[in-house]
């Protein structure tokens, strides 16, 4: 029987993919559809994708699938054929990465969760079928040229910080579940305007558009395929690109370059920078923006405390790390921004 979980250490797998010259394509996709037995579907999916040498992160729930994966270029068509053989996924849009080095993932993780997007919605009357209308890149550009259109970014503060659409409104919060009611509250005075919601690949803004309609908003749209699909469409069709900066992604790359503009600043010295890193201190791993100069000066750490920590003897570090829960350790400006908006 095929193994249904990875059995090799992640460190070994990461080193292996960095040395592997095989051309790989990073893609993402999602679909809201009813999965009766997510665990059974998960095991079937794992066997099929493992055979195609696919790495990545996939979440399954009764409400559907959310995937970010890396596939060998030579297996891309076989992957598409397999996915399209699953009836609800037939014709599924596969978002190909904008800026890809083929090293985005190094292991295959498929997990069953309560929801594919943690939304905090418990209202039994909420219906994903009553979602906003899709807009493609051309329609997005046209609508955003109109004065009665509002663009809402449904990503986290650290994603917005390095790149976003022109005149987009940030909903400053730590989580998507917090953003949903906040977006409703922030848009009360603009309820009659066209509201376009967007996110990285489409999964969050699609649910957000349904939530806005659930709360009584009428003219709600969401960007089809999110930023990734928009940028690809703009390139293919020669359209003006209204996204500026870098698109944050949740894999080893931590971002894909869309334009050469750097709109963020180093969290340590304030110079222009938009490279996200994790603090090299294993008891911290703070996600923050660091410029090359600070990376050298601070040896990849986020603070003087962490710099001192990594120079302690290995055994001392291990003892001090014991029992430490890092949780969601992210450099956070969102609460400050929220206060500024009040």
Alpha carbon distance, N-terminus to C-terminus of the chain: 58
What is the greatest pairwise CA distance in the chain?
62
Q: Among 278, 283, 322, which Cα is nearest to 306's?
A: 283
Q: How far is CA 38 from the centre of its chain?
A: 22
Q: Is residue 199 annotated as a catalytic residue, yes or no? A: yes
Q: Among 195, 216, 212, which Cα is nearest to 149's?
A: 195
Question: What residues have CB less than 8 Å from 21, skipping those under 6 apart?
Answer: none
Separation CA 104–CA 24 (nearest Å): 9
For residue 174 the two structure tokens come to: 């730590």
Out of 31, 199, 284, 291, the active site residue is 199
Question: What residues have CB less than 8 Å from 316, skipping those under 6 apart?
Answer: none
Separation CA 255–CA 99 (nearest Å): 8
The residues that are catalytic are: 199
């Amino acid at each position: 029987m095929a193994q249904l979980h990875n059995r090799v250490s992640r460190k070994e797998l990461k080193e292996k993919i960095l040395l592997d010259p095989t051309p790989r394509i990073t893609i993402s996709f999602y679909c809201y559809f009813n999965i009766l037995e997510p665990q059974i579907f998960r095991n079937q999916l794992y066997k099929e994708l493992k055979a195609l040498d696919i790495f990545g992160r996939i979440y399954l729930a009764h409400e559907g699938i959310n995937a970010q994966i890396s596939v060998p270029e030579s297996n891309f068509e076989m992957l598409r054929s397999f996915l399209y053989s699953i009836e609800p996924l037939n014709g599924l849009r596969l978002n190909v990465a904008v800026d890809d080095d083929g090293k985005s993932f190094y292991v295959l993780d498929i997990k069953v969760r309560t929801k594919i997007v943690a939304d905090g919605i418990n209202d039994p009357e909420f219906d994903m079928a009553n979602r906003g209308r899709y807009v493609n890149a051309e329609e997005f550009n046209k609508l955003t040229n109109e004065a009665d259109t509002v663009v809402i970014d449904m990503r986290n503060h650290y994603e917005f910080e390095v790149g976003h659409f022109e005149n987009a409104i940030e909903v400053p919060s730590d989580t998507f579940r917090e953003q949903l009611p906040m977006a409703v509250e922030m848009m009360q005075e603009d309820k009659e305007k066209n509201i376009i919601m967007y996110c990285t690949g489409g999964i969050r803004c699609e649910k957000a558009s349904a939530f806005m309609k659930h709360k009584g908003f009428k003219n709600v749209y969401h960007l089809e395929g999110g930023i990734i699909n928009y940028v690809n469409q703009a390139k293919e069709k020669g359209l003006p690109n209204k996204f500026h900066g870098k698109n944050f992604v949740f894999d080893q790359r931590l971002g894909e370059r869309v334009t050469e503009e750097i709109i963020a600043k180093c969290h340590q010295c304030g110079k222009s920078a938009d490279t996200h890193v994790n603090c090299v201190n294993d008891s911290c791993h703070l996600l923050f923006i660091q410029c090359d100069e600070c990376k050298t000066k601070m040896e990849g750490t986020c603070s003087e405390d962490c710099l001192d920590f990594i120079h302690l003897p290995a055994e001392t570090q291990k003892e001090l790390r014991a029992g430490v829960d890092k949780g969601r350790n992210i450099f956070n400006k969102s609460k400050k921004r929220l206060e500024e908006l009040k």
